[in-house]
Amino acid sequence: MGMLEEVRRELTEHIIPFWRALRDDEYGGYYGLLDFDLKLDKKAVKGCILNNRITWFFSNAYLLLKDEALLEEARHGYEFLKKYCLDREYGGVYWSMNYDGTPEDTTKHTYNQAFCIYALASYYDAAGEREALDEAYRLFELIESRCRDEGGYLEAFDRSFRPAGNDKLSENGVMADRTMNTLLHVFEAYTELYRVGKDERVGACLRSIMDCFAEKMYNPALHRQEVFFDHEYNTLIDLYSYGHDIETSWLLDRGLEVLDDAEYTKKIAPITKDLADNVKKTAFDGHSLANECDKGVVNTDRIWWVQAETLIGFINAYQKDPARTDFLEAARAEWEFIKTFSIDHRKGSEWFYAVTADGEPDTQKRPIVEPWKCPYHNGRMCIELLKRNVE
């Protein structure tokens, strides 16, 4: 069986059934926690990022597979989003809900607003419901008016959009005023919104974001992106995030494809090529990708989302330059690692959060489902590979 058929089976026989089984028909949305020992907590917090990513996933699974049951799952996620995640008083999207849909954390984070746009745009594409697109544009206007300043996009706010500490998107001992991660996912959401709506206001924002990547976040001397910044875009830490760089390489290329602007393609495509080249050279051991390098110390954990993004990123790099068969071989090797070690073959499970470089299951026993652990990365990997049709 070839890689594509194996990936199709992973999507249709494993990932999709797993997430359908987590549907909460009593309170809406999808359950928020399945621990390492596969114990489901039906009263766990439901992260809005988790729910919106699931809505995005089922929308795109439907667009690929045309199974009406998948559209119904997307609609279920959309109804929870519409009824509970949106703050009708102050605008925007809450950070998280209690199991019954009441607000749990009313923080308004730019990152979270972006993922709601991502879900709404894809749901509109799948279901054709105009109210979803209208809601996406309202959030776009909110981000542009409340979540940025003259220098670019900001991070965290309280419920009424007063600035707040960015503990949710800061780590490694720093507190960042701006992050590469938030900018990347605003770009990703705006790419999807522009794809379905072709609004030139969104296109202008895509160009502005690419300028910021090229001029503020990309470090040409180190062939990587910087990650955490102060307000003036001074980098706060010597951190090389391998997973984010390979993810950025193909997400920016997707934006270039959707925008279809020759000037920006000329400007950005060499950067995405450099990011993919350096990740492969620096962090890929021939089988899988390390997590990150913090002040010269490599974290060798094989995180689920990093492996998924690596497979897409390497396939994307090969498609850009078919002479680079080394990227195709690396992608095939990465899939072998994923199917052997990252996928949790226990009945009722999905993928491990992390495994060691040697493929040993997660020694920290992190949950199989939690607010950040969802089908966005691995489900998207399957969908992307099937759409790209590269064996």
102-147 tens-digit pLDDT: 999 999 999 999 999 999 999 999 999 999 999 999 999 999 999 9
Domain boundaries, the chain: 3-388
Mean pLDDT (the chain) is 98
265-291 tens-digit pLDDT: 999 999 999 999 999 999 999 999 999
Phi and psi for 150 in degrees, rounded to 5?
A: -65, -20
pLDDT band with cut points at 50, 70 and 90 for residue 264: very high
Phi and psi for 56 in degrees, rounded to 5?
A: -60, -45
Tokens of 99: 């199991």
N-terminal to C-terminal alpha carbon distance within the chain: 11
Beta bridge partners of 294: 239, 297
pLDDT of residue 1: 85
Task: Name the pTM for this structure.
Answer: 0.98
pLDDT of residue 391: 86
DSSP 3-state assignment of 283? helix
| Contact of 107 with 45, CB cutoff 8 Å | no
CATH of domain 3-388: 1.50.10.10
Instruction: Tell me 13's DSSP state.
Output: I
Q: How much of the chain is in helix, strand and coil states, percent to nearest 5?
A: 55, 15, 30
134-180 tens-digit pLDDT: 999 999 999 999 999 999 999 999 999 999 999 999 999 999 999 99
